[in-house]
């Protein structure tokens, strides 16, 4: 049994390009919405192995992706650290802010694995229920991205609260990132122990940081996580996703030590090919092409497949599916990828 996606992440590509999609289990699927309605809150949904396993499997049944990504949320980690996390309809995530010594003192690793243990159970169930050829992907948010939510207490357009804390109280902010490095490393190692074949680190908000901050808040924590995982699981691929990092993408790859990297929609195929000379790449179809569907979506998909055909490539989106996506367009996209040959 060969897991094509796993082999590609190990830089052993075949003639067919494997694929999975960010947010492939999501609100665009009617079966997802039906399952989601069975849970009283989003965090309860994430902590229900029955429901989380089911929604992870749904897109695999429908489209036959080569990879299944664990259904959870990046805010499981701060929740496990003792920060109160909840979701408000129409507003997204809400957290009790951690932005000074008093609030920082209330969080920590005590009881972390017990709090998030249901996620590990979901991974164990998925490994048993997935077809043998499907690669199981675990994931976590990167420390910088998770910290932006923890400090702000919600999502943010400019992540100003986290940036201000980092600049004005670098010692406190550094301790928060260190705690997140420890928690995220242990969280991902536990997912691998439970059966994940590879893991992805999502740094969704790495854009627009000046280079020194990018080095200290994005590269250094990610490098530390990669090192900790490698000490326990040397052969497991680690995928980085420094979304919108622009000109710092290559530096991120060189200095973090990730095995593969996801490309956002703004990364050109020329740059993608340059990065392919370093590590396998994932990406990078604009998810709004899938909303539009039709010949434009197919043409853009083939452009990406052909443009990255010279190296190890996992087809994916440049960011996740949006709720407006037509499931039939996803079926056409999957068919286009499956029939392409290098």
Active site residues: 23, 27, 36, 73, 149
Query: Are 259 and 239 in contact, with CB atoms under 8 Å apart?
Result: yes
Query: Are 303 and 286 in contact, with CB atoms under 8 Å apart?
Result: no
Q: Kind of pairing, strands 85-88 and 92-95?
A: antiparallel
φ and ψ at residue 134, rounded to 5 degrees: -90, 125
Query: Are 327 and 62 in contact, with CB atoms under 8 Å apart?
Result: yes
**DSSP labels, 203-252:** ETT-TT--HHHIIIIIIHHHHHHHHHHHHH-TTS-EEEEETT-GGGHHHH
**What is the spatial distance between Cα 159 and Cα 275, in angstroms, rounded to a whole number?**
28
Tokens standing for 317? 């989106």
Query: Are 96 and 153 in contact, with CB atoms under 8 Å apart?
Result: yes
168-177: b (≥16 Cβ within 10 Å) or e: ebeebbeebb
Coil, strand, or helix at residue 194? helix
Q: Taken in order 295, 299, 300, 302, is the CA torsion positive or negative?
A: positive
Query: Are 305 and 31 in contact, with CB atoms under 8 Å apart?
Result: no
Tokens standing for 290? 């899938």
**What is the spatial distance between Cα 187 and Cα 206, in angstroms, rounded to a whole number?**
21
**What is the spatial distance between Cα 147 and Cα 187, in angstroms, rounded to a whole number?**
16
Tell me how far CA of residue 176 lies from CA of 24, 81, 110, 246, 339, in angstroms: 31, 11, 15, 26, 47
Q: Please give the DSSP secondary-structure letter assigned to residue 82.
A: T
């Amino acid at each position: 049994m060969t897991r094509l996606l796993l082999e590609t992440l190990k830089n052993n590509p075949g003639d067919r390009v494997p694929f999975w999609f960010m947010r492939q289990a999501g609100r665009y699927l009617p079966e997802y919405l039906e399952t989601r309605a069975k849970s009283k809150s989003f965090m309860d949904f994430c902590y229900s192995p029955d429901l989380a396993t089911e929604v992870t499997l749904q897109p695999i049944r429908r489209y036959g992706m080569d990879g299944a990504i664990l259904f959870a949320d990046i805010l499981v980690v701060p929740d496990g650290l003792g920060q109160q996390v909840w979701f408000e309809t129409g507003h997204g995530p809400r957290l009790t802010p951690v932005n000074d010594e008093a609030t920082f003192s209330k969080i920590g690793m005590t009881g972390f694995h017990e709090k998030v243990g249901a996620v590990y159970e979901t991974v164990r169930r998925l490994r048993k229920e997935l077809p043998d050829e499907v690669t199981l992907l675990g994931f976590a948010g990167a420390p910088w991205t998770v910290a932006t939510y923890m400090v702000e207490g919600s999502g943010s357009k400019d992540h100003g609260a986290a940036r201000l804390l980092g600049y004005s109280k670098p010692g406190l902010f550094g301790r928060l990132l260190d705690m997140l490095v420890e928690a995220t490393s242990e969280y991902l190692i536990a997912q691998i122990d439970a059966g994940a074949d590879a893991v992805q680190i999502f740094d969704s908000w790495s854009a627009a940081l000046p280079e020194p901050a990018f080095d200290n808040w994005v590269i250094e924590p990610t490098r530390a996580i990669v090192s900790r995982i490698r000490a326990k699981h040397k052969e497991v691929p680690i995928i980085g996703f420094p979304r919108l990092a622009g000109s710092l993408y290559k530096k991120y790859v060189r200095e973090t030590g990730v095995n593969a990297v996801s490309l956002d929609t703004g990364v050109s195929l020329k740059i993608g090919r340059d990065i392919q000379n370093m590590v396998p790449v994932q990406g990078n179809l604009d998810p709004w092409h899938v909303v539009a569907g039709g010949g434009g979506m197919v043409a853009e998909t083939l452009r990406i497949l052909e443009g990255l055909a010279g190296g190890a490539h996992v087809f994916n989106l440049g960011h996740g599916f949006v709720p407006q996506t037509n499931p039939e367009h996803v079926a056409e996209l999957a068919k286009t990828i499956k029939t392409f040959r290098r």
